[in-house]
């Protein structure tokens, strides 16, 4: 009787991702497979100590005999990303035209011909920026923890993540970062063929402003004095290069809609509102 190959339990997969710093143990790229260092056909079990993360290239090299088990084992003991504290940059392949940002199902588009576009800013800082330079759209994005320490940075199409996050997963074209069990910092879908970046859920933070984007919920901004604002339109084109300005934004900047009086939390994890 042959034993059928059982799936690796999710909890075990997460433990491996955490131990390997969310990237290939050799090069750190976050696009990975779980690899059995000794072949599964030999060991017939998913022993944690025998499992590691490899990118498609290094996985293929191992299969082809160009990368030894010993080298993989050594890297597994000292994963690349844990040495640097961040994942190796992973390059997004968007094209010439500025991609549309879809936040909570609502589309934020750059005005025609714009050289740059900021869907929203907080206190004058762009947490998302789309630039067009030399026939290439370049995306930048930043997501912070409650202390404004960056957990995800996209710097001109290069994705960088903290290797100290609770969990990071790049599965298909969906990037999910969790800050704690059951607590998603961001779920981003890079729909390159539709030229869209879809933010399914996530939390943008800066200077105590916290904007929580819940899945399949309309956009709700945390404003105190004017109640919460819901943006009803399916597509938001502000006609300005900066869409929403939350908090204290430069008075002379051309901003589509200003919301200066925005709620701010007091620093500290105890004050963090619960997220679905
Ligand atoms: Zn690799």
pLDDT at residue 229 is higher than 50: no
pLDDT at residue 72 is higher than 80: yes
Chain position carrying tokens 């202390």: 147
33 CA from centroid of ligand 1 (Å): 10
Average pLDDT over residues 2-30: 90
What lies within 8 Å, CB to CB, of 274 at 6+ separation is none
59 CA from centroid of ligand 1 (Å): 7
Supply the mean pLDDT for the chain: 88
Cα dihedral 52, 55, 57, 59 in deg (nearest 10)? 20
Average pLDDT over residues 259-271: 74
8 CA from centroid of ligand 1 (Å): 21
Cα dihedral 186, 54, 159, 203 in deg (nearest 10)? 10
Per the model's pLDDT, the better-predicted residue between 194 and 115 turns out to be 194
Half-sphere exposure in the Cβ direction for 51 (13 Å, CA): 19
Average pLDDT over residues 247-268: 85
pLDDT at residue 226 is higher than 60: no
32 CA from centroid of ligand 1 (Å): 8
How is the chain split into domains, by residue range?
A: 10-84, 90-270
pLDDT at residue 131 is higher than 90: yes
What lies within 8 Å, CB to CB, of 250 at 6+ separation is 124
- Helices 69-77 and 56-63 cross at an angle (nearest 10°) of 140
| The pLDDT of residue 94 | 94
164 CA from centroid of ligand 1 (Å): 19
198 CA from centroid of ligand 1 (Å): 27
31 CA from centroid of ligand 1 (Å): 8
Sign for the CA dihedral angle at 257, 220, 197, 148 comes to positive
1 CA from centroid of ligand 1 (Å): 36
Strand (E) or helix (H) holding 43: helix 40-43
26 CA from centroid of ligand 1 (Å): 5
pLDDT at residue 169 is higher than 50: yes
77: left (phi over 0), alpha (psi -120 to 50) or beta: alpha
159 CA from centroid of ligand 1 (Å): 16
266 CA from centroid of ligand 1 (Å): 41
12 CA from centroid of ligand 1 (Å): 21
62 CA from centroid of ligand 1 (Å): 10
11 CA from centroid of ligand 1 (Å): 23
| The pLDDT of residue 123 | 95
Per the model's pLDDT, the better-predicted residue between 219 and 159 turns out to be 159
Closest CA to 15 of 45, 56, 52: 52
36 CA from centroid of ligand 1 (Å): 15
131 CA from centroid of ligand 1 (Å): 29
What lies within 8 Å, CB to CB, of 109 at 6+ separation is 98, 100, 101, 117, 235, 236, 237
Predicted TM-score (pTM) of this structure: 0.88
Distance, in Å, from the CA atom of 58 to the CA atom of 64, rounded to the nearest integer, reads 10
103 CA from centroid of ligand 1 (Å): 32
Average pLDDT over residues 111-119: 88
| The pLDDT of residue 4 | 58
Task: Choose the most confident range, by mean pLDDT, from 71-75, 114-118, 144-148.
Answer: 71-75
Average pLDDT over residues 229-254: 73
Q: If pLDDT is split at 50, 70 and 90, which confidence band does 228 have? A: very low
């Amino acid at each position: 009787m042959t034993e059928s190959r059982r799936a690796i339990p999710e909890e075990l997969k997460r433990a491996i991702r955490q131990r390997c710093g969310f990237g290939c143990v050799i090069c750190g790229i976050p696009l990975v497979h779980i690899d059995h260092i000794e072949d599964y056909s030999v060991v017939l079990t998913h022993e944690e100590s025998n499992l590691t993360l490899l990118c498609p290239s290094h996985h293929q090299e191992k299969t082809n005999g160009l990368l030894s088990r010993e080298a993989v084992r050594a890297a597994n003991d000292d994963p690349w990303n844990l040495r640097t504290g961040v994942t190796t940059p992973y390059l997004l392949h968007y094209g010439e035209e500025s991609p549309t940002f879809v936040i909570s199902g609502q589309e934020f588009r750059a005005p025609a011909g714009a050289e740059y576009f900021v869907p929203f800013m907080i206190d004058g800082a762009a947490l998302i920026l789309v630039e067009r330079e030399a026939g290439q759209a370049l995306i930048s994005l930043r997501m912070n923890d409650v202390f404004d320490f960056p957990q995800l940075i996209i710097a001109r199409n290069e994705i960088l993540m903290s290797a100290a996050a609770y969990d990071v997963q790049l599965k298909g074209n969906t990037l999910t970062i969790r800050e704690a069990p059951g607590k998603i910092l961001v779920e981003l879908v890079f729909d390159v063929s539709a030229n869209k970046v879809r933010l399914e859920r996530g939390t943008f933070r800066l200077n105590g402003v916290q904007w929580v984007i819940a899945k399949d919920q309309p956009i709700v901004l945390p404003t105190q004095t004017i109640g919460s604002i819901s943006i009803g339109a399916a597509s938001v084109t502000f006609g300005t290069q900066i869409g929403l300005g939350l908090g204290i934004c430069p008075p002379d900047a051309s901003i589509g809609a200003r919301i200066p009086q925005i709620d701010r939390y007091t620093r500290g994890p105890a004050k963090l509102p619960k997220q679905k």
